[in-house]
Structure formats: structure tokens, C-alpha cells
Amino acid sequence: MVFNFVEFPFNNHILKSTLMAKAEKKPAKRSSSKIDDLSVNTENGAAQFLTTNQGLKINDNNNSLKAGERGPTLLEDFILREKTTHFDHERIPERIVHARGSGAHGIFKLYESLDKYTKAAFLNDTSAETPVFVRFSTVAGSRGSSDLARDVRGFAVKFYTSEGNYDLVGNNMPVFFIQDAIKFPDLVHAVKPEPHHEMPQAASAHDTFWDFNSLMPESMHMIMWAMSDRALPRSFRMMEGFGVHTFRFINSKNESCFVKFHWKPLLGVHSIAWDEAQNISGKDPDFHRRDLWEAIEAGNFPEWELGLQIIPEADEFKYSFDLLDPTKLIPEELIPVMRVGKMTLNRNPDNFFAETEQVAFHPGHIVPGIDFSNDPLLQGRLFSYTDTQLSRLGGPNFHEIPINRPLSPVHNNQRDGHMRQTINTSRTNYHPNSISEGSPMQAKAAEGGFVSHAERIDAVKVRERSKSFFDHFSQATMFFKSQSKPEQQHLIDAFTFELGKVEKVYIRERMLGLLTQVDKTLAEKVAGALGLPLPKAPEKPINHGVSADANENDTEPIKVKPVLEKSAALSMEGTVKDTVKTRKVAFLVANGVKDASLDKMKNALLDNGATVKLISLKQGAITTEGGNQITVDGSFLTDASVLYDAVYIPEGKKSISALMTEPNSIHFVNEAYKHCKAIGTGADGVAFLQETFVKEVGLENMNIEGAGVVTDGNADKFIGCIAAHRFWNREDFRKVPA
């Protein structure tokens, strides 16, 4: 039995470098044919009009064709289809986005029936265990890039239900950069390595990305998330997941409601520091992949609860934001998240390529009881995902690859094609037929047949965007104000780092102008760090969200008062901090380590679910004070503090003396202190700490709550410090020599 996961072509798609071919000034000899001349790309010439690949000038490159400004996207939008089709086929065989991923098998178990909201069988039967395959991923980087890039993380779940496969294809952030799918190729092209030199890999700190976003104010909310600590998760097991879009539930009475999907990790939501992330990329670029694999192999199965925000149809227009706008979230203070079931990942793949790499996700893989909204980003994704698989997996039969096969039977009249595996024996491959007595036949709704929600549509075909989408700053402001002080400082540092890598000053200035609309203090601090004056106002957007013929007085964005000033759910400060399960603790040891000190703390940590690794001056074995031989797990050459959640120095004067002579052991602790991790030792270890930066802040203050350094060997204190995750107040000491 196989399950599968990931791929979110509308997250942070690979930015396919736009071809910047320069026409030769003097070709050696070429035909004078006008048709032949059309092959010369003169992109660097004078101002040009956008056209389709057939040369048709485009009037609106910002909005897909919809039935009314809030209506569904129309299949006849040949511009959207051409643009997306070309984009989807730009990369083979890697995924265009979400190329680097890790997957795992598991099960989903429902707490209580949701038949009040949906007729989906797997959300009605509390006795069933639905198999799942989950794929986590980074978005912008290639398959060979680091796990630790500052990036959105894909969070895709394939449910193998009794009614067919259902794919919940989302991210670890609840919103996205753009509002309309027609802009997705532009976004990904901008974030991918720059086309002239293919740099930087898996990084957004470069001109093209910030040029695009500085001209697209709608990206500001997502930019705040991407620059926050959410873009640097401690582990896949410690990050939230979101469906991003608003979907529909349909119950057996054909009643509809809107729904937002959430995944809540039971270990809490935790991040790492940016300096730490950069170091991990060098020490272990497979850090997240290894963490997931090792946790499952050790029986520490990752768990998430499925959460739902249910919005009655009558409340569709109740809020100041639009439910169809993918750059907006619904604050949990307005609509609490109901936790309705638990997903447990309990088995690693047997073969990475066959499962994790070949798994094919698609937001259009749904079951009766779940349906779509008219979110214009979602509408475009419904076309793009299948189209992408045709190139990536070689043809239309990718559903027959084992990891993609549903558990429910498949009967239809589709035949042949590349890599066909099913051997059909029926004479008929059409419907209706009488030779096969009408089989396979249509299923009535009562028999489980899928029926689309009957939403009334009466609208004019337009390339426009609803004005309810024109608020780009209120939720960005709410997000920033909701962060704790350390999280706000990390945002300031992230903007400073990213914009500091941008070469063109006018792009930096344009972004600073947009930041003034989010929070003046944020903008001032970033401007100061960049050595630039703060713009008085942002630049006026160029034809954003409107066609080329729009009235200049009818442009966006608009100012809207935030629906809430703060939302506690947007900060990680209040997340779960009562467990050390699966946390990795490095014990620094050498010959002469005291047996009782080592064993007492090690056993206490293991009893609470943590993992302990012994790090010494060299690999092999050490001899304890009591004469026991202990094999160590690594040396200072093979290990680093950034790979651990905490550091402990057991007692033993001989061991401590040996560690004090090794500069790498001092660096190990300094770096752990710099990254705000828990540090522990006993009475003998105080002498060691005196050789580190810890002495600069005064060891006499280290045993108080909130300091994160324990010097009396108290196991309960140390475990409590590890559970707290980080002590960000230490970042005030920015002189740590590590």
C-alpha cells in the first residue's frame, strides 16, 4: 500500500530564468527571410508591449478572465492557459517549485464526525484510519539545495480515502504572495536564480525578487511571513501547515459552508536563528530531512492535529477582508480553529525516488463533500498541477505510479498514453455504450457521485480584480504588531539582510516605501541599517490589479483599518513549551568524566523523550572517572552546536580540564550561547564556563528563571530550559565570539 505527498506549484514556484539572449550585432551569414529573423530575441531593446506567443498584444497581464470580479476563472482565458502551460513545462524532471522535499507515510484518525458540515466519508467515520503520504519541501531551491534556506515550506498531504485520493496541498504559511494565478510564473521567475549568472541558489536575497515584490504591494503580508522566523523552522515536525485558500464543505443536505484548513504540530511551532541556519547549511544541508527520517526510525512519530475554521455562507461578506483573497487570513480570535483529528507519520519511504520524488499532488484531487471557492489563485492551480505532471512524470498516466494510486477502484474510458500500466480487457472505451451494458456508468449523488456545488453566477466576463482585494497592508501590520520583541527584531534583521544584498538602490528605496505602510518603526530601523533616508510615501503602483485602460484614479492599494490590532496565534511566543521530546542534547565529555553526573542527566533526559549524543576531543571511546569505557558519538571535527538543541557539560575535573584546552569546545558553547540555547553543567563545569562568553554576563545570575544556563546540575531545571526552546533575550549580547 502506498501513499504520497507534496508539490505546491502555487507557493513559491521555481523561478525559471527568463531568457535574456542578446542578438549578435553582426551574424556571420544568415538568411534575409523575415520569418528567419523572428528567431532573434531583442529583449534588451526599446520599450515593448507584452504579447502572447502568437504576437497578440496583452491589455491586462495582472488578472485572469473571470465571471464577474469575484467569480470563477473561465476556461476560455487563453492568455492564462498559454502563460501557465509554458511555465509548467520549463523544468524537467525536477518539480518547478518544491523540488527539494522529504516524505513519510502515516495515518489520519478523526476525533468526531463532521457530517454537520461535510459528507466526505473520511471526515465522517471516526472508526476509520485513513492512510496518508506527506511531503514537506522548500520552494525556491533545486533538489540539491540546502534544507535551511530562508523560504516557505510546502506541506502537502495525500489522503487515500475510500472515495478516492484527496490532496490538501499547502504551505507552512497561511497566505501567499499573489492574488491571481496569472502572476505565478512572474513570481517564481523573480525568486529563482537570476538568469544571467544563475545565482543565488535557493535564496531570495537578490534584485529580481525584491524588484518584483516592490512593484506588487499585494505581496506585503506574505513578505512579512517570509521574513519572519516561520521561514526558518527548527524541524518539519515543529511547523504548522495551512491550506492557504478558502475551500467549501458540502453536507448530505447539499448545504454549503466555507472552510480554512490548518495543521497544528503537537510538539509546538519552533524556529532557529538566521546565523544558525547559515551554519547548518554548511554543517548538514540535509538537516530537516535527516531530522524527519531519524525521528520516525526511532519511533518518535511526528503528530499534527487537523484544524478547521468554518465560515457559514451567510458570513461571506461579514469581514473587512475578502475570503477569496489568498493574501489574507482569518484571525483565530474571529473564528477559532476546531481541532477535529490527528495525523501521525509512522513510516519512512522504502525508496526516495519511487515515493517522495514521484508523488504527484493536485488541489483538484477532491472527494464528495469538499469543493472549491472562486479564489483566483486556487482557480489557476486547478489547471496548473495536472499540466505540470505531464512533463515531470512523462505523460497522462502518472496516476498509475504506485505512490499515486488510490485505494478505491478506478474505472473509466481513458486508454493508452505513455507508460500505461493498466491492461483493459473491455471492448468498450466510450460512454454511453450497450455492449458492456453501460459500464462504467455515471454515479448518482446518493451513490457517491461527485456533484459540484451549485453556486449561482450571473456576471460579465472581465479581466478585473474585486476592490475587496485592494487592502494590502492591514494584515501585514497586524502580523508585525502580533510578534514578540525578539521576533520583531528578527524581522528587522531579515529585511536588512535581504535588502542589503540588493544591488540597485532604487529597489531598496521602493521596498522601504512599502514598509512605511506596514509599520513606521519597522521601516525606520531597516532604513537606518541600510544607511538610506526613509521615503515619505511609497511609489505609486504601475497598473497593478487593473487593466492598462483603467482610470488612473481607480488604482490600488487602499488603506483599511486592521480587523484586529494583534492576534496571539501569529506569534510563536505562546506555542507549546512543555516538552523535550525528540530534542537533541550534546554532552561534552573527555577522559575522567564523572559517572554519576553523566548518568543522572542523561537518564533524566532520555526518560523525558530527549536524545543524548556524547561529543569528545576525538572519536572512539573515553574512560570515565570510575574506569568505565564509553563510546562517544562524535568529535568536535564532525559535530557542531548548531546541530543540537542544548549543551551539557558533565562534572569531572579531569574531563573539564581536557575540554578547556580544546578551542573547539569553547567555540561549541559560545555558539550555543549565541543562538540562545539551554546550557547546563555542575559545580566542576563552572570553571569551564568561565573560559566562555557566558562569564561576560555573570554566572551569579545564571540560575534564575529565563537565563537558560544551569550551573548546579539540576535535571529538572535543565529540562525546563530545553523545553522553553530559546532564550532570545541573550541576543542583546551581540559580541559573542562565535
Q: What pLDDT does 701 receive?
A: 52
On whether the CB atoms of residues 263 and 340 are closer than 8 A, the answer is no
Are 159 and 248 contained in the same domain? yes
Are 111 and 235 contained in the same domain? yes
Do the domain assignments include residue 139?
A: yes
User: Nearest 5 degrees, angle CA 605-CA 608-CA 610?
Assistant: 55
* CB neighbour list of residue 277: distance below 8 Å, 6 or more residues apart: 148, 149, 150, 232
pLDDT in tens, 285-344: 999 999 999 999 999 999 999 999 999 999 999 999 999 999 999 999 999 999 999 999
409: pLDDT strictly greater than 90: no
In 3-state terms, what secondary structure has residue 66?
Answer: strand
**Is position 171 annotated as part of the catalytic site?**
yes
Are 504 and 606 contained in the same domain? no
On whether the CB atoms of residues 404 and 4 are closer than 8 A, the answer is yes
| CATH of residue 670 | 3.40.50.880
**Is position 288 annotated as part of the catalytic site?**
no
pLDDT in tens, 569-584: 999 999 999 999 999 9
Total domains present in the chain? 3
Element (H, E) at 391: helix 376-392
Closest among 466, 589, 392, 356 to 67, alpha carbons compared: 466
Do the domain assignments include residue 91?
A: yes
In 3-state terms, what secondary structure has residue 532?
Answer: coil
| DSSP code for 690 | T
Are 208 and 357 contained in the same domain? yes
Q: What is the mean pLDDT of the chain?
A: 88
Stretch among 41-55, 206-220, 377-391 having the lowest mean pLDDT: 41-55
- List b or e across 530-544, with b for residues whose CB sees 16 or more CB atoms inside 10 angstroms: beeebbeebeebeeb
CA distances from 419 to 384, 390, 399, 407, 498 (A): 21, 11, 10, 20, 45
Total residues found in the chain within this entry: 738
Are 153 and 91 contained in the same domain? yes
Q: Which residue has the higher pLDDT, 561 or 480?
A: 480
373: pLDDT strictly greater than 70: yes
Do the domain assignments include residue 23?
A: no
Do the domain assignments include residue 52?
A: no
Q: What pLDDT does 348 receive?
A: 98
In whole angstroms, give the CA distance from residue 100 to residue 94.
9
pLDDT in tens, 610-622: 999 999 999 999 9
Element (H, E) at 342: strand 338-347
| DSSP code for 326 | T
In 3-state terms, what secondary structure has residue 20?
Answer: coil
13: pLDDT strictly greater than 80: no
On whether the CB atoms of residues 198 and 17 are closer than 8 A, the answer is yes
164: pLDDT strictly greater than 70: yes
pTM, 2 dp:
0.88
pLDDT in tens, 420-474: 898 989 998 888 989 999 888 888 888 888 888 888 888 999 999 999 999 999 9
Gyration radius from the chain CA atoms: 28
On whether the CB atoms of residues 243 and 261 are closer than 8 A, the answer is yes
Average pLDDT on 188-199 reads 95
Give residue 38's pLDDT band: very low, low, confident or very high (50, 70, 90): very low
In whole angstroms, give the CA distance from residue 102 to residue 286.
10
> Of the candidates 522, 546, 570, which is a domain's last residue?
570
Are 242 and 344 contained in the same domain? yes
Do the domain assignments include residue 45?
A: no
Handedness of CA 66, 67, 69, 73 (dihedral sign): negative
Q: What pLDDT does 731 receive?
A: 85
In 3-state terms, what secondary structure has residue 13?
Answer: coil
Are 521 and 625 contained in the same domain? no
Closest among 404, 136, 124 to 265, alpha carbons compared: 136
Backbone angles phi, psi at 21, to 5 degrees: -65, 135
1: pLDDT strictly greater than 60: no
Task: Please provide the DSSP assignment of 249-310 as one string.
Answer: EE-TT--EEEEEEEEEETT---B--HHHHHHHHHH-TTHHHHHHHHHHHTT---EEEEEEEE
| CATH of residue 509 | 1.20.1370.20
In whole angstroms, give the CA distance from residue 709 to residue 637.
25
In whole angstroms, give the CA distance from residue 248 to residue 72.
14
97: pLDDT strictly greater than 60: yes
Element (H, E) at 129: strand 129-138
- Which stretches of 589-699 are assigned E, i.e. beta strand? 611-616, 621-623, 629-631, 634-635, 646-649, 678-681
Give residue 11's pLDDT band: very low, low, confident or very high (50, 70, 90): very low
In whole angstroms, give the CA distance from residue 406 to residue 132.
11
Element (H, E) at 480: helix 474-482
Average pLDDT on 686-704 reads 73
Stretch among 25-39, 120-134, 673-687 having the lowest mean pLDDT: 25-39
Are 521 and 663 contained in the same domain? no
Average pLDDT on 106-118 reads 98
CA distances from 497 to 134, 151, 285, 387, 459 (A): 32, 14, 21, 37, 46
In whole angstroms, give the CA distance from residue 319 to residue 326.
15
Do the domain assignments include residue 22?
A: no
Percent of the chain, pLDDT > 70?
Answer: 88
* CB neighbour list of residue 683: distance below 8 Å, 6 or more residues apart: 651, 711, 712, 713
Q: What pLDDT does 173 receive?
A: 98
In whole angstroms, give the CA distance from residue 540 to residue 215.
9
| CATH of residue 98 | 2.40.180.10
Are 558 and 589 contained in the same domain? no
713: pLDDT strictly greater than 50: yes
Do the domain assignments include residue 5?
A: no
Give residue 544's pLDDT band: very low, low, confident or very high (50, 70, 90): low
| DSSP code for 354 | I
Across-strand partners of 264? 305
In 3-state terms, what secondary structure has residue 11?
Answer: coil
Are 550 and 626 contained in the same domain? no
On whether the CB atoms of residues 559 and 470 are closer than 8 A, the answer is no
Catalytically annotated residue among 11, 62, 63, 98: 98
Are 562 and 620 contained in the same domain? no
Domain of 660 in residue numbering reads as 584-732
In 3-state terms, what secondary structure has residue 340?
Answer: strand
In whole angstroms, give the CA distance from residue 85 to residue 184.
12
Across-strand partners of 256? 250
Cell readout for 501 is 544584498
| DSSP code for 591 | T
Give residue 8's pLDDT band: very low, low, confident or very high (50, 70, 90): very low
Catalytically annotated residue among 4, 63, 124, 171: 171
Q: What pLDDT does 37 receive?
A: 38
Residue type, 733: F
Task: Please provide the DSSP assignment of 541-554 as one string.
Answer: PSSTTS-TTS-TTS
Closest among 661, 703, 659 to 682, alpha carbons compared: 703
Q: Which residue has the higher pLDDT, 539 or 374?
A: 374
In whole angstroms, give the CA distance from residue 184 to residue 188.
6
Closest among 261, 376, 382, 249 to 324, alpha carbons compared: 376
Do the domain assignments include residue 672?
A: yes
Are 529 and 594 contained in the same domain? no
